[in-house]
Structure 1
Amino acid sequence: MYKNIFLSFAFLACVNGLHAQTSSDVVIQNVAKFSATSTVEVQQDLLTIVMNTAREGLDAEVVQAQLKQALNSALKIAKSAVVGGQMEVSTGSFSLYPRYSKEGKINGWQGTVELLLEGRDFSLITATSGKIQTLTIGNISFSLSREQRLRVESDAQAAAIAGFRTKAEQVSKSFGFNTYTLREISVNANNQGSNSPQRMTAMAVSSSPSESVPVEAGKSTVSVTASGSVQMR
């Protein structure tokens, strides 16, 4: 019985060794791996202004009512200025939470509310924010619109792929080969803004509630990398 078991193990070892030897005999040769990157710098065309306010008091319902009143007043002004594709309006966070004393007891309530103005018409957005008196500007940020990002990514992708093909030809010829075939390829995009959001207080925005805050967009860098391997022939 033990002899049979030993012979079985020996047979399996031989088979495994045969498979390993067969696998090691298959050697992939004349393969080159490399990548090509295309980077495009583009002007940011999307402005987002976040407006907010805070209220506090002893009664939760009173504080909530004050926040709603401030938001409704701002929404009325903002919605009247909405232009499709140029400026859109949406509400942000609406929070209400208790305030505690040193003894751990609730001694009041405080809350915040947000309104977002976003679009490509910078003048319209800043002018609208200047007309809203119940909220103040808390954050200004710039980015790429979906249309702008897709257009730039498409251009960068085409350039990256063309660069990969050119490099494949150059590498193949450098090693004395006439041509190549593609083995594997991956294309990845990366969008990086060059400026950080501006966080502002009511005093820093303007001296007059109706005055528009000046803004200046930065640029974003869109990079696309094509990486893979080719079989030189």
Structure 2
Amino acid sequence: MTEISKPLFSARLASSALLLTAAFAGGNVWAQNAGAGAQRTANVVQLSAQGTVEVRQDWMTATLSATKDGRDAATVQSQLQKVVEAAMSTLRADAKNGEMELSTGNFSISPRYGSSGKVEGWQGQAEIVLQGRDFVRITQAAAKVQDMTLANMGFGLSREAREKVEGEAQSKAIENFRQRATAISKSFGFAGYSLREVSVNGSGGTVRPMPRPRMMGMAKASMSDAAPLAVEADRAEVTVSVGGSIQMQ
């Protein structure tokens, strides 16, 4: 049997003692970390709040449309081009940045099939889009256009109005979130809270038109044969949402 020298045996005992000490220390650190993690996840509440501002829509979009039908596509295209060019020439005099902006819209030509399934002719459609803040200017200008009809009309918010209203709605949403967080913390017997994470829905907000019955009986009438339409924009609600989590303290 090989004898183990006392110095070597003592060194091995000391090494084992160090390993045991390190193991206990590691266990204590793990326990402390686990306890800290439990504290960080305890008393956490998820909540959300909204801020809403009502505003009158200040941006109008009107679409004028013309349709043509013919035996060949080239003829239909030429006819539509002439109508659009004449209309644009008439409208440019009233165009003004922000008040009435002018652009061409959809331009399409498609075959017209007969009962036998063969192409019997061609039909096309062209559009001009008028949009801006000056509703009177837009409707009066549209009424001057020959050979086109008012196909669609709608209202919305200009970029400037949207940014302003979204800022107000966001402030309301944040304040509502803070009030809810305070009320919930107090309801559970805590003195206050700390904010863990939060998200703000500020990418355009949500614009919801206010319901109002309205008649657009002249929408398909020839604009050149009718007086300018009397229009009024609806009101809209702009909503911004705030959501996140708090830790009650």
Q: Same fold by TM-score, threshold 0.5 exceeded? A: yes
Tell me the equivalent position of 1:51: 64
SS in 1 for 2:231: coil
Q: Which amino acid in the other structure matches residue 103 of structure 1? A: S
Distance change (3 Å), C-alpha of 1:172 and 1:195: closer
Q: How does 1:82-93 map to 2 (within 5 A)?
A: 82-93=95-106
Q: How does 1:46-195 map to 2 (within 5 A)?
A: 46-188=59-201, 189-194=205-210
Scaled by the length of structure 1, the TM-score of the pair is 0.83
Instruction: State the aligned residue count.
Output: 212
SS in 2 for 1:55: strand
The answer for unaligned runs of 5 or more in structure 1 is 1-20
Q: CA deviation digits over 1:62-89, x for unaligned, max 9?
A: 1111100110011011111111111100
Q: CA deviation digits over 1:52-110, x for unaligned, max 9?
A: 01000112211111100110011011111111111100111100111112222211111
Farther off after superposition, 128-137 or 177-186: 177-186
Q: Which amino acid in the other structure matches residue 139 of structure 1? A: N
Structure label with greater radius of gyration: 2
- CA distance, structure 1, for counterparts of residue 116 and residue 197 of structure 2: 66
Tell me the equivalent position of 1:38: 51
- CA distance, structure 1, for counterparts of residue 244 and residue 217 of structure 2: 42
Matched, 1:213 2:229: yes
- CA distance, structure 2, for counterparts of residue 118 and residue 226 of structure 1: 32
Q: Which amino acid in the other structure matches residue 192 of structure 1? A: R
Scaled by the length of structure 2, the TM-score of the pair is 0.78
Contact 1:138 1:200 in 2 (8 A): no
- CA distance, structure 1, for counterparts of residue 110 and residue 167 of structure 2: 46
- CA distance, structure 2, for counterparts of residue 101 and residue 181 of structure 1: 72
Q: CA deviation at 1:195?
A: 5.3
- CA distance, structure 2, for counterparts of residue 61 and residue 195 of structure 1: 45
Q: CA deviation digits over 1:4-58, x for unaligned, max 9?
A: xxxxxxxxxxxxxxxxx98987432111222221111110000110000100011
Q: CA deviation at 1:210?
A: 5.4
CA RMSD of aligned residues (A): 2.4
- CA distance, structure 2, for counterparts of residue 202 and residue 116 of structure 1: 15
Q: State, as a whole percentage, how many aligned pairs show the same letter.
A: 41
